[in-house]
Amino acid sequence: MRQIDSPQAYLVAKTMLVPEGLNAYLKDIGNPDWGTDHSVSDAENLIEAAGRMCYRSWQPYDPARPEASNPNVTNVRRGNDRYIANVLKSGHGSVLEHANATFICRNVSRVFTHELVRHRAGMAYSQESLRYVRLDDLPVWIPDSACENPAAEKKFREVVDFLENSQKELAEIFGIADIDDFSSKKMLTSMFRRLAPIGIGTTIMVTGNLRAWRHIIAMRTSVHAEEEIRLVCGQIAEICKREFPNVFQDIYKDEESGAWAFEYSKV
Ligand SMILES: Cc1cc2nc3c(=O)[nH]c(=O)nc-3n(C[C@H](O)[C@H](O)[C@H](O)COP(=O)(O)OP(=O)(O)OC[C@H]3O[C@@H](n4cnc5c(N)ncnc54)[C@H](O)[C@@H]3O)c2cc1C
């Protein structure tokens, strides 16, 4: 058994504006001067633009600028933080779906990935293939709940070592080292993995829109969620709060339980 470090989430991509395109659009609708304020990220700027486009609320009504304003709007809310606060409060969260954040989750188990991929709405996944990647050693993270109990930790190691030896024995039974044909190797590798533990360390890339991340963070850091997904989604919560402080302005952490929750749970 190869003991690996605890699971880790890395933010690897996030939504970026194309300012030339947005500025060209604003010029064409007759409001080239519009610019948000207090936005910390392109993602939040884009969300505000989506909302203002819906209601033509780029500015208070001006008959000279009919495509950038409308007679129903005499005052507009200024400030990206205040604008998004109102989106959250009113539950019109579909505009949050325009902004994405992509994470690579490393040293996570198949327990974690099985749970994460249950989240369908607004999500995309790419996961390490265990049909292609042959297992000669078994990388495993030992959860804190097992480490705290020496007898449990010993049993954990014994079982993983046994399964690791089984991988090696199967490789010998089939003489996989001497097989050149890739599709045969793939078929055998896939068969061997049935005897790999669900706790085996792997990697998954996951992209989600910010509305979906709010939902996942709340569900998966709750005290009812599993130890590993709580840990990783807790890291994702910290990153989202730092990178998108206006979209995550209503998030708070219960320090005792470690759960993250939102003032507006349904947006
Ligand atoms: C503590 C905990 C325990 C769990 N235990 C189990 C278990 O024992 N067995 C089990 O099978 N699963 C279990 N799950 C998984 C759970 O049932 C969900 O499948 C998973 O959390 C995905 O969440 P979601 O359904 O909100 O889907 P998401 O894809 O995250 O969807 C987000 C929201 O979009 C809406 N939505 C998405 N898809 C549809 C749709 N097709 N139709 C209508 N509305 C939709 C819903 O409002 C949904 O809440 C558990 C989850 C948690 C957090």
Single residue among 195, 222, 238 that ends a domain in this structure: 195
Single residue among 195, 220, 235 that ends a domain in this structure: 195
93 part of a folded domain = yes
User: How does DSSP classify residue 129?
Assistant: -
| Ligand 1 centroid to residue 190 C-alpha, Å | 29
Same domain, 137 and 82: no
pLDDT at 32: 87
pLDDT at 232: 98
pLDDT at 247: 98
Same domain, 92 and 139: no
Single residue among 147, 178, 195 that ends a domain in this structure: 195
42 part of a folded domain = yes
Nearest CA to ligand 1 atom 47: 121
Which atom of ligand 1 is found nearest the CA of 226?
1
Nearest CA to ligand 1 atom 34: 121
pLDDT at 122: 98
Same domain, 91 and 147: no
Q: In terms of DSSP H, where are the helices of 174-209?
A: 182-192
Nearest CA to ligand 1 atom 44: 121
Which atom of ligand 1 is found nearest the CA of 219?
53
User: How does DSSP classify residue 200?
Assistant: B
User: How does DSSP classify residue 88?
Assistant: H
83 part of a folded domain = yes
Among 42, 96, 44, 73, CA closest to 217: 96
pLDDT at 2: 92
User: How does DSSP classify residue 181?
Assistant: -
Nearest CA to ligand 1 atom 43: 121
Per annotation, catalytic residue among 65, 220, 230, 242: 220
263 part of a folded domain = no
Tens of pLDDT, residues 88-123:
999 999 999 999 999 999 999 999 999 999 999 999
143 part of a folded domain = yes
Torsion, Cα of 212, 213, 214, 215 (10° steps): 50
- For 57, the token pair is 């609320």
86 part of a folded domain = yes
Same domain, 20 and 89: yes
d(CA 186, CA 178): 14
Look at the chain and report how many structural domains it folds into: 2
pLDDT at 33: 87
Residues 6+ apart with CB under 8 A from 171: 134, 136, 177, 192
CA distances from 156 to 108, 149, 170 (A): 17, 11, 21
pLDDT at 40: 84
Tens of pLDDT, residues 158-190:
999 999 999 999 999 999 999 999 999 999 999
pLDDT tens, per residue, the chain with 267 residues: 999 999 999 999 999 999 999 999 999 999 988 988 877 899 999 999 999 999 999 999 999 999 999 999 999 998 999 999 999 999 999 999 999 999 999 999 999 999 999 999 999 999 998 877 778 889 999 999 999 999 999 999 999 999 999 999 999 999 999 999 999 999 999 999 999 999 999 999 999 999 999 999 999 999 999 999 999 999 999 999 999 999 999 999 999 999 999 999 999
d(CA 183, CA 176): 12
The answer to whether 200 touches 135, Cβ cutoff 8 Å, is yes
| Ligand 1 centroid to residue 258 C-alpha, Å | 21
258 part of a folded domain = no
10 part of a folded domain = no
3-class secondary structure, 105: strand
Catalytic site residue 220? yes
The residues lining ligand 1, judged by C-beta closer than 6 Å to any ligand atom, are 118-121, 215, 219-220, 224-225
pLDDT at 133: 77
Nearest CA to ligand 1 atom 6: 115
3-class secondary structure, 178: helix
3-class secondary structure, 68: coil
- For 103, the token pair is 């994470």
The residue to mutate among 97, 116, 219, having the most atoms of ligand 1 within 8 angstroms of its beta carbon, is 219
d(CA 225, CA 219): 7
The answer to whether 115 touches 224, Cβ cutoff 8 Å, is no
| Ligand 1 centroid to residue 127 C-alpha, Å | 20
| 47: containing domain | 15-97
In terms of pTM, does the model score above 0.85?
yes
